[in-house]
Amino acid sequence: MAEVRSVQLLEWKEAPKAAGAYRSVLLVEDEAPFRQVIARNLSGRGLLVREVGTAAEAVTEMTTNCPDLMLLDINLPDRSGWDVMRDLRRLGIDVPTIVVSAVRVNQSRLDEFHPMAYLPKPFPLEALLRLVFRTPGHEANGSSEIENT
């Protein structure tokens, strides 16, 4: 297994201009090594990345420091990613979301919450980077919300 180095958590301050439409990302993932690899790759490309590992932390972060984009795992230790999206909807918070999950996602959930994309784990890092750095409104393969890898 590759060595994983810790990633410095960035504060919501000015950062180098990132290519693409998003500048700040909330990464909601309970598996720390996986979360750190993604955070390192996104922050290395100029994005401000905040990391949390639970649904409660995600909702708190979204209500205090709403980012431009959320990367959301579905299986979290305290509640599900769907619960996070439901809470945010109830609070009137709408943020583009990419769902990443090792659990197969039911189409009815995608229809209910309308994430901008769904990436089943494991996925190539390049697939996530394509989604994060593409221009909103210009979906890959037409208007598909699902990234098939």
Whole-angstrom distance, CA of residue 22 vs CA of residue 17: 10
Q: What is the pLDDT of residues 77-104, one digit of tens each?
A: 999 999 999 999 999 999 999 999 998 8
Q: What is the pLDDT of residues 49-84, one digit of tens each?
A: 999 999 999 999 999 999 999 999 999 999 999 999
Taking residue 44's Cβ as centre, other Cβ atoms within 10 Å add up to: 10
Stated pTM of the model? 0.78
Select from 121, 113, 137, 149 the least CA-distant residue to 20: 137
Handedness of CA 126, 129, 133, 138 (dihedral sign): positive
How would you label 94-122 residue by residue, b for 16+ Cβ within 10 Å and e otherwise?
Answer: ebbbbbbbeeebeeebeeebebbbbbbee
